[in-house]
A = this chain, B = another copy of it.
């Protein structure tokens, strides 16, 4: 299996509300067949009805209940950019679940959640390289790497 992701689909309970939230963040997408597609760099973020998504995956649907177990992150180029995005997210109606603060790795990050509780980290990490197009390249963690079995 190739080492890449093509789409992230966020199950939502109110498509219009979620579309408006992401548009308030400045995103622009296309709606077709009650689904919203956002081109997001070299992949896409999709909004779709949560129950339909569960059925599509062959999984029993369940109401959102606390932490979903997955987070998304957008890395930025400075602490100021982190503050700016969190301000935009708050103004759009997002909940700031963790205010921006210094991180143990020498960066700066905070979190917001969207109307369905999907968690986004907004981070500045000086150890990660961001290309002009936003592509992220992990460092060679080198000697910090823990040997495993």
Chain A residues within 8 Å of B, Cβ to Cβ: 1-11, 16, 19, 25-28, 30-34, 37-45, 50, 53-54, 56-62, 64-75, 85, 88-89, 97-98, 111, 113, 116-119, 121-123, 128, 130-131, 133-138, 140-141, 144-146, 148-149
Contacts and interface: CB of A to CB of B under 8 A. Distances in A.
A144 B32 contact: yes
A14 to B, nearest CB: 13
Going nearest first, the 4 A-B pairs with the smallest beta carbon separation are A58-B98, A42-B135, A4-B41, A58-B97
Contact of A44 (B40, B71, B138, B140): B138
Contacts of A133: 42
Contact of A5 (B41, B53, B113): B41
Copies of this chain, whole number: 2
B73 A67 contact: no
A45 B5 contact: yes
Given A30-B138, A97-B59, A136-B44, A1 B74 contact: yes
A1 B57 CA distance: 29
Contacts of A1: 25-27, 74, 85, 88-89, 122
A3 B116 CA distance: 19
